[in-house]
Amino acid sequence: MDTEQTELILNLDQLKDLTRRTIGHYEFNAESYRTGTADHDVSQNYEALLDSIESKKPFKILDLGCGPGRDLKYFKSLGHIPEGVEGSETFVEIARKSTGCDVYHMDFINLDLPQMEYDGIFANASIFHTPRQEINRVMRELNDSLKKRGVLFCSNPRGDNQEGFSGERYGFYYDWNTWKEICLNTGFEEIRHFFRPDGIPEEERPWLASVWRKI
């Protein structure tokens, strides 16, 4: 993994390039990713989001980085109103066709979300692709797109604040304290956090999941 713990300062061309490379990885591996993740058990993540939303059902949910639409399909099956945002054009087309949901083609550098629209945002293994210097802006945009006391669920690979490429995918690999500080500074309060999956010692669990309420 080609990552560093020193803070990187990236210009616009560099931001566009790392975004292009990361999205290109998913474009190239779209079918294998779709089949390889179709049966992943993320029920703990679904429950963490849905159990925290206070609004009247059905919930309007944004799936941020929806991939081929697995989670959109699940939320829709419960009677909710999910929409997706995805950077890969291939995934956008797959998700639209397989779910019938609205799926918008945009990336983290060019987010353009409606204000006060969603009861909940589901960001499963997606936000970590945002460069560190852009994360506060992205988190504020997510906060603005939530209704009053709306809920954000995030699951990020656990790390020690390294930033850079892992293969062709760019990411920032947060530890808990850094991620908590970012969320608290961008208009959220913590509901809960946990490390997953279950079944192994907590210090070995590779995913940091957290649930936040808009304040």
Mean pLDDT, range 63-82, rounded to an integer = 98
Domains of the chain as residue ranges with CATH: 2-214 (3.40.50.150)
Task: Please determine, for residue 5, whether its predicted confidence score (pLDDT) is greater than 80.
Answer: no
- Cα separation of the two ends of the chain: 36
Task: Please determine, for residue 169, whether its predicted confidence score (pLDDT) is greater than 60.
Answer: yes
- pLDDT of 7 reads 63
> Burial letters for 163-193: b for 16+ Cβ neighbours within 10 Å, e otherwise?
bbeeeebbbbbbeeebbbebbeebbbeebeb
For residue 38, name the pLDDT band (cuts at 50, 70, 90): confident
Task: Please determine, for residue 210, whether its predicted confidence score (pLDDT) is greater than 60.
Answer: yes
Mean pLDDT, range 195-204, rounded to an integer = 93
pLDDT digits (tens, 9 = 90+) for 74-126: 999 999 999 999 999 999 999 999 999 999 999 999 999 999 999 999 999 99
For residue 8, name the pLDDT band (cuts at 50, 70, 90): confident
Task: Please determine, for residue 173, whether its predicted confidence score (pLDDT) is greater than 60.
Answer: yes
Mean pLDDT, range 146-151, rounded to an integer = 98
- pLDDT of 111 reads 95
Helices 30-37 + 89-99 axis angle, to 10: 40
- pLDDT of 53 reads 98
Mean pLDDT, range 28-40, rounded to an integer = 91
